[in-house]
Amino acid sequence: MTAPFNREELARQLKGILEFDFRVSPAEASAVQIYKALSKIIVEHMKKKRHDFMRRKNSLGSKQVYYISMEFLMGRSLKTNLYNLGLNNVVEQVLTEEYNIKIDKIYGEEPDAGLGNGGLGRLAACYMDALATCEYAATGYSILYEYGIFKQKLNNGWQTELPDEWLPGGGVWLQAEPDQAVEVHFEGHIVEHWDNEYHRIEHVGYQTVLAVPYDMYVSGYDSKGISKLRLWAAKPVAAFSMQDFNQGKFTQALDAGNIAHTIAKVLYPNDNFNEGKALRLKQQYFMCAASVADIVMRHMKIYGSLDNFHEKSAIHINDTHPTLAIPELMRILLDECGYSWNKSWHICQNTFAYTNHTVMAEALEAWDKDLLQRILPRIFTIICEINRRYCQGLENRMTDQSKIDRMSIVTPTKIRMANLCLDAAHSVNGVSRLHSEIIKESVFKEQYEDKPIKFKNVTNGIAYRRWLLQSNPKLTNLLSETIGDGFKKNGAQLERFRVFERDQVVLGKLGEIKRDNKEKFAKWVKKKYNVSLNLDSIFDVQVKRLHEYKRQQLNVMNILADYLALLENPDMEFKPKTYIFASKAAPGYFLAKQIIMLIWSLSQEIEKNPKIAEKLRVIFLEDYSVTLSELLMPAAEVSEQISLAGTEASGTGNMKLMLNGAITLGTYDGANVEIHEHVGDDNVFVFGMSTPEVNVMKANGYHPEGYYNQNPIINSVINRIYHGVNGVTFQELGDALKFKDAYMCFADFESYRAAQRKISETYANPLQWNRMSLVNIAEAGVFSADRAVTEYAQQIWNLSNQ
């Protein structure tokens, strides 16, 4: 790859910005100033490159994709962009020779962008990277959250949430475009009247919030493409009302500003109360209304008419949060452009595509009908009319009224957002092959039977270069030595590595690289937590959002069982294991917070017994982030993907860990199924019930108390949870497992324990373990985000990268 500018040019630009923008000489410049100056150079380069890229696309009349998502978990930008642009070596040389500073210190000055929470947001970020790499014209849309999700701090094991103030350091990547601001209207009421022969609808008495765009550019790897992520900041039209103030209405004088400022404060405000629900709804409409208005304005600027809007624009709804984009586009077409209903609906249905991210019907978003009507009166009337016509069509095709009621968008009390997507979108896809089958067979069974042609699958993919080239340079070098550099551009070429699975020299090098990565991670843990990890132990990793269906509690039950056994017999034969957890719980999710506290409490109790701690150790990493995962993934040896079969849509952490040579310990769920198919039976540890077996057990009635009474290990573990770990009792969690066990941990417990024993036995043979690791690395290329976005482009968006 050829760098966009050479060493001399980079040094000149860097020196100039430091002197003119920061008023310091290179010798005086701090690491923060160097980071910001470097970032400014990269942003300006990408901005120009994006301009040239889009000018060429527009001149060809290329169709564009607009990807709307409540989350984009971007992580740090400097390192990724330097690697993608081929500038990492040039920058490292300039910093070392002229500034006597290591590039890692400069990377460390950047905070992770606080724009996402988990897999949903990380997937969206990966796709921005891949769309640029594959040279598709793409723009992402979301909200410029002031504080992001939250910074996690454990207070004696209990999760507390602190503001994530990422903008002071991360703002350098944002380019404000205030002249392209959009007004967004809330509340008020609708007035209908006739103007000659035209039926007019006006929204009056509304509150206005200004959506101000800030652009973040995302580079592709060794490509001409640049994606743009447009983030909307919420600003008041008038932050202060002098009229209200002069009339003594002091609080009301500030209300307009307060409403605007709350919208973009945090991602996913706690919705355990009505004010939180209302704020979430306002956030979603704010994002959708601003984004659709921007897309329409861009299209009109190029083509001057919306007649061909659906031919030139693909709008993708990432989960149900952006669903309100559908009625918002209808509103613009009907109220502002004067299109007929049928023409407007034709444009919408050929514009929108929807990705579903859940297999659990209870997790599908549904808004309170009265709330939506109050906050978005015009959008409410449009949804009701969409539903009337939809149900009328269903009645023409079927006679079962109960089935029509289940498929209806509007119920007496709720608005079902997924059902709106299913009606309006021309494509509905799941994110793994198993997930896509489950939504056809259960979650959206009736909609699939009605319109089967809409349903597709695109298995998730990851920005693999971030997790390999940037995070694991030693493994990258080994791959280059053995199979050449082609895999850096084309992930499918990783498969060539498989020819070395019997090469003892390569397997030995692979083991050395894993050991080095474990040592690097252990040094960080020692510095951060003052805990010394046993490098000879198995590094067993479960890092993901904390939710009962992901079954961190099953993992803890197994660890607690081993701990109780070691208490009885500290000298028993036991392969040392280090269990590494990292996750955040939703602020209002009490049981999830209890599970975190149990993990932490168990880690503290074990540390009090040094003899046991040499064999068994637990560590919980606070405030998990993309940057922390880049350090952890290369050190991981076991990848815990242990959700109950039929509950995880796909997962992407499983792919990142696999790419770095960790071996999956998983149920037959989500993308684990496809990992298993690619690596084979001998290179993965599968346990637990299958989805059909789970369904049969549920149908027959699942009784966890029976397991508690009959299995002495489960009995002792749950009793210990009740009686206390490190002096803390967990009554609610114990009850949830003993009497409900919603995700069947007890039913899969013995199978999980057996798989853990097999892991210990296999690890005792380093050659076999390294061979398994190599196969996983070699088969990881299929899970590239480049492959995923190409499938979207060809099968769903009808996009060309020419």
The tokens of 182 are what?
């959009």
* Contact criterion met (CB below 8 Å) for 288 and 324: yes
DSSP-derived secondary structure for 501-554: TT-HHHHHHHHHHHHHHHHHHHHHHHHHH-----TTSEEEEEES---GGGTHHH
CA 132 – CA 229 distance, rounded (Å): 11
The catalytically annotated residue of 122, 185, 357, 678 is: 357
Of the residues 185, 316, 331, 544, only one is catalytic, namely: 544
CB neighbourhood size of 765 (10 A): 11
357 tagged catalytic: yes
Respond yes or no: is residue 652 known to be catalytic: yes
Asked whether 184 and 286 are in contact (CB, 8 A), the reply is yes
Separation of alpha carbons 379 and 326, rounded Å: 9
Residues 680 and 772: beta-carbon distance below 8 Å: no
Annotated catalytic, 23? no
- Are 154 and 127 spatial neighbours (Cβ–Cβ below 8 Å)? no
Burial 450-460 (b: 16+ CB within 10 A, else e): beeebbbbbbb
Place of tokens 């390569």: 506
**The 3-state secondary structure of 495-507, one letter per residue:** HHHHHHCCCHHHH
- Identify the three-state secondary structure at position 30: coil
Q: Answer yes or no: 545 catalytic.
A: yes
Q: Which of 550, 577, 584, 771 is catalytic?
A: 550
Q: What strands lie across the sheet with 685-686, from one edge to the other?
A: 616-620, 577-582, 538-543, 638-641, 663-666, 685-686
Region of residue 408 (phi > 0: left; psi between -120 and 50: alpha; otherwise: beta)? beta
Q: Is residue 771 annotated as a catalytic residue, yes or no?
A: no
186, β-bridge pairs: 207
CB distance 266 to 249 below 8 Å: no
Q: Which of 323, 351, 578, 652 is catalytic?
A: 652
Separation of alpha carbons 172 and 167, rounded Å: 8
Q: In angstroms, what CA-CA distances link 613 with 263, 570, 603?
A: 47, 10, 9
> Catalytic pick from 45, 435, 488, 545?
545
Catalytic residue (one of 656, 678, 771, 787): 656
Q: Which residues are catalytic?
A: 357, 544-545, 550, 652, 656
